[in-house]
Structure 1
């Protein structure tokens, strides 16, 4: 029987293993952690599910490859945007509250007006990109735009709101604007449709895909195809699919013998890996405005803050503090107590009468980075080089999908794609004649319509999208 080893039990690895398992391959999935899911991690310690890793489904539509699975499980989504697939607005801007450092709410009209100015600035950066052949950061391009267009410069409170918009971009890419590529930052494909938070978390999706697979937890790999794990146990197969986070590949904790080709090592070394962290604060009762998110504006993006209102999603009094880029890196250097304290200080600036949290939780930090992004001077084909196989060694993960880079559905589709490529390679070796017969999903359960709602409590607001 054809055999494949899958390295990494995140969504890409489980998708690859599921696809090959359904094709009657012998598949062993090796995961270094004591759980599956990788950068998808649903925490139930609060008494309700909270995703500490991937939180949103971006692009709720028929084209999203995860939509059928989510619909099959009947999992609800909480809508955070309506008919806007812009990467700038993962939230509906009609349901937010921004504050200054003194707890004064910024007028809604001002935020919208600055948002239009910010969009104009980004449009002008496109001209800068066309003018300069050498790549630069978004931050540098914005500086050029503001120098050329003084009317786009803002001062006082509008300037601080503009910094919050930059901060929002940094949260999307998990990187500071001085590191994000001007030439490549907007090449990813944004699926049409809305953005939605998984009300019950992503774990049910992981569990559905993993059901019946041969998964070995606590197996940290040091070799390939003949794969050796830390305890010396060896696994041998016809091929392997590497789906570990690219941050782990960068760390070189997995060795390859013979070494990977120079072009592959360069792609791994050069791809940008961002850092985004979440701190969950659970309270006895709600004391903040009934909005989707709370934010604080400041003189720089580093000083801004962002809290997702989980009460809207789960019905429980909880907020998620979001940080990215250098801010997230600095928070990771703190003790758990100091990190929570830092988040709570930010909240107290927004809501001075904030009560102490009952429970707190932090994001998983074992992936050596959160997700990839296009950093300055990245080659346009860097994701393709990450994806390309080396003999009988295949690669998958969100970093290998330039169209869905950093997306949960990008990780899933990359695993399926790598599994199909691996299958063809192995069957050619065996001389099989049914190479191009389509794979059949052995699960007979029909997909249910995908439900997305603007309220976790109002069933009347639900809409069938798929």
Structure 2
């Protein structure tokens, strides 16, 4: 609804709400509404609450965490959303919490892994006939794939216009016939492309050649959260003013205030708001802004891509699979490839998690839970004929979940380089956070967390200046537990 279309009665009612709030707040601390209860929103609310601001957090779901979701129905923690710490090092902004809580990490790759969250020796790959692919072939093709990717950098340097990574790979293979793979080697190459698509949660024909290798990855490799991410969420959210099942429909800016209207018509008013809802939700325009967001912000939201990755977790009564971290199926196309994460090796629980990205992830969401489980069990039984039926299963649907509408942001072909900066930039007293607002670490939990802290700090400074208050606070998360520099608990060193 445009401001010009409001009736005089509506304008009068809204102005009355704002004026009442202004009168109440004349001697009160600055107030902020945080929209979205994922780790970014919780981090922002935590920082501002620690700075003695009046903060309320609104979450549309009946739980906290957002795309961080640890399920306990198997009798053990299973992360159906984010599950890795990307960058197992003290420089990671989440390291102090993980260290302080004594949470264990299972390292699945070393420092040199940019595209994969597992080292090569941790795979057991099978073809469509159930024959295991020789490990030497897996390693040789992996090295060949790295050579192909290095050659794509030359293609990028030669072309002013962006193109898809798939198109660049095709150019490389046409120029270098010796890099072409045939037969079983071609199928293994497609599997590597499948794993690359999983990293971006997008298909290789949509991944930007210009941007695919520009991500800043922290040192230390990738660590699986053995006990899940929920303990981090729970600790950060302790004692915050949180309202679950509160779906935001409209945000109005007026008189240096922000009014947030719920689906049920109720309102909250504050000095500022921090929006941390997923990028997919913003792209769907389910939240109305008045006045409308400026064009530079709308185009940033529109041009940023949203990838999709889903998990089908299977709990079995016995372990019938080899003791490797990843079981993979090679095939003539990356779409037909697949892989299972072996949680038994990392956690000791008899659980396999099938992971699908891009078009495969969306196609799986078209199936019922039972059909999806049947589909992945057919793959598993081709690889391992002795596979038994699962005793329990879980299926994620991040692409069609109305509270996420995708998994995490990604770079699409031909889009401007400043999208993440424009996405995170505030619009007056409305601030933006979430993983898509992280310029250097988008798509990661620690990136989302850091974006929440940065938005809170920007908001804090503006409001203190606006209220003529001295800066007596440091909105930095320095809990007592972080002061004891105990080492991170990491297995598989």
Which TM-score applies when normalising by structure 2?
0.90
* Structure 1 segment 406-445 matched on structure 2, within 5 A: 406-434=443-471, 438-439=474-475, 441=477, 443-445=479-481
* Structure 1 segment 192-341 matched on structure 2, within 5 A: 192-224=219-251, 225-341=258-374
Cross-structure match for 1:451: 489
Unaligned runs of 5+ in 2: 1-28, 252-257
Q: After the TM superposition, which segments of 4 or more aligned residues of structure 1 sit over 6 Å from their partners?
A: none
Kept in 2, the 8 Å contact 1:85–1:191? The answer is no
Cross-structure match for 2:14: none
Q: Is 2:96 the counterpart of 1:58? A: no
Cross-structure match for 1:391: 428
* Structure 1 segment 129-144 matched on structure 2, within 5 A: 129-144=156-171
* Structure 1 segment 181-200 matched on structure 2, within 5 A: 181-200=208-227
Residues of 2 paired with 1:12 and 1:133: CA distance? 36
Cross-structure match for 1:12: 40
Cross-structure match for 1:161: 188
Kept in 2, the 8 Å contact 1:276–1:328? The answer is yes
Residues of 2 paired with 1:87 and 1:281: CA distance? 28
Deviation at 1:94, TM superposition (A): 1.6
Kept in 2, the 8 Å contact 1:85–1:190? The answer is no
Deviation at 1:196, TM superposition (A): 0.9
Kept in 2, the 8 Å contact 1:305–1:322? The answer is yes
Q: Deviations over 1:327-363 (max 9, x none)?
A: 1110011111111111111111111111000000012
Cross-structure match for 1:36: 64
Q: Deviations over 1:170-201 (max 9, x none)?
A: 00000000000000111110001121111110
- Partner of 1:204: helix, strand, or coil? helix
Deviation at 1:440, TM superposition (A): 5.1
User: Which deviates more from structure 2 when the two are superposed, residues 213-222 or residues 424-433?
Assistant: 424-433
Q: Deviations over 1:261-287 (max 9, x none)?
A: 011011111111001000001100000
Cross-structure match for 2:8: none
Residues of 2 paired with 1:440 and 1:10: CA distance? 18
Deviation at 1:104, TM superposition (A): 0.8
Residues of 2 paired with 1:441 and 1:405: CA distance? 21
Cross-structure match for 2:10: none
Cross-structure match for 1:457: none
1:403 pairs, out of 437, 440, 465, with: 440
Cross-structure match for 1:460: none
Kept in 1, the 8 Å contact 2:250–2:287? The answer is yes
Cross-structure match for 1:459: none
Unaligned runs of 5+ in 1: 455-462
Deviation at 1:97, TM superposition (A): 0.3
- Partner of 1:256: helix, strand, or coil? strand
Kept in 1, the 8 Å contact 2:116–2:196? The answer is no
Deviation at 1:405, TM superposition (A): 1.2
Cross-structure match for 1:343: 376
Deviation at 1:442, TM superposition (A): 6.2
Kept in 2, the 8 Å contact 1:53–1:364? The answer is no
Q: Deviations over 1:300-335 (max 9, x none)?
A: 000001100010122111100000000111001111
Kept in 1, the 8 Å contact 2:303–2:415? The answer is yes
Q: Is 2:409 the counterpart of 1:372? A: yes
Kept in 2, the 8 Å contact 1:222–1:254? The answer is yes
Q: Is 2:118 the counterpart of 1:91? A: yes
Cross-structure match for 2:107: 79
- Partner of 1:60: helix, strand, or coil? coil
The alignment yields a C-alpha RMSD, in angstroms, of: 1.1
- Partner of 2:87: helix, strand, or coil? strand
Distance 1:364 1:211, change over 3 A: farther
Residues of 2 paired with 1:216 and 1:440: CA distance? 24
Residues of 1 paired with 2:221 and 2:169: CA distance? 28
Deviation at 1:438, TM superposition (A): 3.1
Residues of 1 paired with 2:147 and 2:270: CA distance? 54
- Partner of 2:197: helix, strand, or coil? helix
